Chains A and B, each alone.
Chain A
Amino acid sequence: MEIVTLGGKQIEIDEDGFIQDPDAWDNAVAADLAKTEGVDDLTDDHWKIVNYLREYYLEFSMAPMIRKLCKQTGYSLKEIYDLFPSGPAKGACKVAGLPKPTGCV
């Protein structure tokens, strides 16, 4: 594991750049994580997705189904890819401070 500075804090990330301690996450951390994903400014559209992922994760301890994410937030998968170039699992979940999704997803 590697320790990096995100949002002014020293935070541990894994081999894929996902933070290890979801509790260390805050808006400033998200903004810095977004930069590692090539997103320099988090717009309201980004936040809507990030917040949904965050809330779902806090309730269910995992990322939601991609189709559920699209349906609940109203963004198509293409729009999510436009916002987070690595896509919902490797991009949006990373910015939202979730661990990397596991299994064949």
Chain B
Amino acid sequence: MTNLTAGVLLFPLLGFVILGVTGSALPRRMILAVAWGACGLAFLLATISFFSMLGTPPAARTSDQVLYTWVVSGDFQVSFGLLFDPLSATMLMIVTGVGLLIHIYSAGYMEDDPGFWRFFSYMNFFIFAMVLLVSADNFLFLLVGWGLVGLASFLLIGFWYQRRTAVAAAQKALVINIIGDFGLMIAIFLIFRQYGVLNFYNNANGPGVFSALDPATTGNRLQLVIALCLFLACAAKSAQLPLYMWLPDAMEGPTPVSALIHAATMVTAGVYLVARAHPLFELAPTALTIIAVIGGVTALFAATIALFQLDIKRVLAYSTISQLGYMFMGEGVHNYSAGIFHLTTHAYFKALLFLAAGAVIHALGGEQDMRQMGGLRSRLRTTFWTFLVGTLAISGIPPLAGFWSKDEILSSLLAQATANHKAISYLLWGIAIVTVALTAFYMFRLFYGIFMGDYRGSGRASHAGDEEEEEPSRRTAGRFTIHEAPPIMTIPLIILAVLSIIGGLVGSFDLISLSKWRPLTAFLAPVFADVHTMATASFGVEWISTLVSVGFALLGIFAAWRLYGRGFQYKENKNPFYQLLYHKYYVDEILDAVIVQPILWFGRTAARVLEGDVLDGGSRAVAGGLRGISAGLRRLQTGYVRNYALAILIGVVLIILYYAVRG
């Protein structure tokens, strides 16, 4: 099996370095050549390696390649090692494939931007960091990748750094991510302390953590703490409660960034980590339950907020949070491959939705508010159809991709519920089902709001048959021609739409048990072979779950059609419930009041009191004291000779008294 992961890792790095150093001087074609070349080569190598893996027998599908020995300390050894197994192969394909499509799309979207070269160098850097994260073979190298993707996210969210909101959003993302990094580091410390090694599996460097685990310690407090610390990192990176606040604000970045990082790849790092470290999670069943519950609550919570948002990217952001919750729910019931499956299908349709939204924004000259849209169906045909595909996919309508992966998760949830008969498991399944309806509703609200009804904005509709004309008057005084995006942007949309349609079939097609064809699950099986506690769904359970979920999805679509089918009419709604959801449960305001303002107050007060009064005051007090002493002593210098003679006499008397007392 050829393991070309090193190339997959290094080409984007090379692209980043070249573009970073020389990019500002290169012409546009060269920049694209380097960027597309780097990402394209990465994808090519990943594909070759993937097919090579398919050609090897399942038992031999693990390859661990050490690039460079990093830390050697006695028996402990950690290196830059790349692990290539089914899980990392899947992730590599997704990252480089979707990444390449978005690189192509961005050439059109960012064409007017003066920071064109900077954008592509950051994108290449992100690809490099993400590849590093998913192919690391030990926890420490994973931590490096974890931090680097956080950095890439910061750079790309704050890409338009002259905007204060963008910089603030980037800072918010970084701060919340650091909380997660803290959790990951604590987990690594605990793992090292307990097991003495940090490699995942046994390799040339030494034994691995997962081989050293003792099943007898299941349920121990230490395992629980490790698992929860790891999940803290996942919650921060994958925007779960309570660390989700950064993702909606991250929409300040360019839309391709939102598509790549905050929909398809970076936010899925948390899901990947749970899957990769599943032996550790298996030893802490309570942690898995917590993960499932948090995933479910987050899914519902985010879906409720998305119901009434007006910014189209915000709706998609909250929908991402919601779908990530689904993935964690799947992993929480021990079905890791279901979580990964949903990760892949979500990558397709969420990237599609974001890129299509980007096409709309691009066509409207930067408009993101749904109230200014409508009736774009006739103007943006390709976008319309691809967006529809994406919306159907995310709502879970068969036979599109989203249906298969969601169904997998839902039936796992119901199977778990029927297996252990716990109320909480049933509740989780119920939450998931309700969220299906909500998802369908708000996505179709979005769809109708953008494309149906009459155009409510200030632009001028183009004539029929008018293709893209780069008129200078396009941006004059708010009136411009609305036209479809150029092919460089629409072709990736079409490709992603096709993937959203057929992508699910790769994962599983055993719905009616006609065929137990579950390629992805089978592919990932060697990785998760040690998971024995997964409840398999019986025939009846699966059918019930499927029918109920499709029914709820149709219900949601129907409700959206009734309300918004003729277009989105914005009405000011004073209902307090509506206001609560519209303002995202006032979470940001609460956090600002409870955490941010006290910290700022503390900082200001510390600066004033500690530095001003204590430190400065202390030194001033010393100076003042010395001045006082010297002023007091100065009074001895009266200038009168008689006083000085008196002083001499005092000295003499003291000496004589000393001798008198001494005897």
The answer to whether A and B belong to the same complex is: no
Chain B residues with CB under 8 Å of chain A are: none
Chain A residues with CB under 8 Å of chain B are: none
